[in-house]
Copies of this chain bind each other. A is one copy, B any other.
Amino acid sequence: MPLPVHWVNQQPDSSLSTLDRGFAYGDGVFETLRCHRGRFHLLEQHLQRLQLGCERLEIPCPHESLRLHLHDASNYLRSQELADATLRLTVTRGSALENECGRGYAGAHGAPNVVLSLYSARLPWRAAPPPLHLICHRTPLATQPLLAGIKHCNRLEQVLAAKAVQRVGADEAIMLNQAGRPVSAVAANLFLVIGNNLYTPDLSECGVAGTVRGVILEHLADACMIHVEQRALELEELYQAQELILSNSLVGIQSVASVESQHFSTTRVADKLRSCFFDWVDAQAQ
């Protein structure tokens, strides 16, 4: 059986109840994982963020069954000898009860639904992907500290931004917050190289705290001997940076070639980080 394959609550299935609250309200969280030779990259980081998301949304996180699900998916990839794949893992609050108690935002529901989808993937491994051309997206992200950082399923802002990117033929976009400060790209986190320092926007008001971003902050900056810091960044700093870098769980580390008419000519720090990143991923596999 080729990819994609889907599981719903550990059964092979590609359909879900219309009463699922993920469908009704985007009432859930998800993770997108890269898989190489049956092993999921940054698995613990993804599971930690999923758990944080569940806590924030008051969804009981089905830890035990998640591990079993992932084990099944990994076995499937090995049995099919599929070296590369991506996995979308979604946990929703559950399906609304079929009676009147199930109605509405606080309606009664069953246990969380867990949906896994495995897709085929051709992603670069260690090789540098081509630097990206970005636009600056005009619609700022909403401020909602309650939902900031986690990867919940309310993603209309990203959907509309991604469509705007596609419309003009760009690769990605800088997303701004309500104060006009850069937050991230649409589907990646953002790092600025200024001098020998690496800066990434603070995500306490909006944005998603990416797993690769977390690894850079906690492990790679040290390994690469570069000082790294999270803080509020001004848009002018972005345009004045020597180098811009995006991080994302599927591609890893990507360089930015341009934002609007501003070009960035060096990829020095990105290349170094990418090399450190894949070393780190390999070391985790030992």
Residue A162 at the chain B interface, CB threshold 8 Å? yes
Can you identify 26 A-B contacts, CB atoms within 8 angstroms? A14-B19, A15-B16, A16-B17, A16-B20, A19-B117, A21-B159, A24-B153, A25-B155, A26-B26, A26-B155, A26-B156, A27-B156, A86-B103, A100-B119, A100-B121, A103-B119, A105-B158, A105-B161, A105-B186, A106-B159, A106-B163, A142-B143, A142-B147, A146-B160, A147-B156, A154-B155
Cβ contact within 8 Å between A105 and B155: yes
With contacts A57-B160, A105-B162, A121-B100 taken as known, whether A18 is within 8 angstroms of B14 at the C-beta atoms is: yes
For A165, list chain B residues within 8 Å (CB): 106
Residues from chain B with a CB closer than 8 A to the CB of A157 are 144, 146-147
Pairwise interchain contact B16-A18, C-beta atoms closer than 8 A = yes
B residues near A160, Cβ cutoff 8 Å: 57-58, 146
Q: Check if A22 sits within 8 Å of B23, measured CB to CB.
A: yes
Binary per-residue interface labels of chain A (127-168) against chain B in the complex, 1 for a CB within 8 Å, 0 otherwise: 000000000000100111011000011111111111101100
Q: Which residues of B contact A186 (CB under 8 A)?
A: 105
CA distance A170 to B13 in the complex (A): 39
Q: Is A178 an interface residue, CB under 8 A from the partner? A: yes
Residues of the B chain whose Cβ atoms lie less than 8 Å from the Cβ of A103: 86, 119
Known: A16-B15, A19-B14. A153 touches B119 (CB 8 A): no
How far apart are A173's CB and chain B's nearest CB, in angstroms?
11
Interface flag for A192 (CB, 8 Å):
no
A282 interface residue, CB < 8 Å from B? Answer: no
Interface membership of A6, Cβ < 8 A: yes
**A162 to B26, Cβ gap below 8 A?**
no
A115 in the interface (beta carbon within 8 A): yes
A187 on the B face (CB < 8 A): yes
* Inter-subunit contact A105/B178 (CB<8 Å): no
